């Protein structure tokens, strides 16, 4: 049994560092679309977001949130007797995100 946390925070932070100028032709949107085509779990993120989201992601990276989530998920899986492998990822809910979509992602 193992719970893997698919890393999205650094990927999305790097994408958000790219220019959003040009809309769907921007470096940022093209990089986001490429990540999605590579089946990376980025669908809960708004590719054209602004600073509050970027700041929140930076704080989560600084906290090593994905490692904390992995440790917590694996400890919980052991406690409840989970007998399968699973992959999870973090989604960020902060002003400016597609927060109405979180329940479906």
CB atoms within 10 A of CB 40: 16
Q: Give the C-alpha distances (Å, rounded to integers) separating 42 from 9, 10, 77.
A: 9, 11, 24
How sure is the predictor about 91, in pLDDT bands with cuts at 50, 70 and 90? confident
- 96 pLDDT above the threshold of 60: no
The pTM for the full model equals: 0.79
- pLDDT per residue as tens digits for the range 7-48: 999 999 999 999 999 988 999 999 999 999 999 998 878 888
Average pLDDT over the chain reads 87
């Amino acid at each position: 049994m193992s719970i893997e946390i698919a890393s999205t925070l650094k990927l999305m932070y790097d994408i958000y560092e790219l220019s959003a100028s040009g809309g769907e032709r921007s470096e940022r949107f093209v990089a986001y679309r490429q990540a999605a085509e590579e089946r990376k779990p980025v669908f809960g993120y708004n590719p054209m977001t602004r600073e509050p989201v970027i700041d929140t992601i930076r704080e989560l990276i600084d906290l090593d949130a994905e490692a904390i989530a992995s440790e917590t998920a694996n400890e919980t899986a052991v406690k409840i007797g989970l007998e399968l492998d699973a992959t999870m990822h973090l989604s960020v809910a902060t002003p400016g995100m597609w927060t109405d979509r979180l329940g479906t992602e």
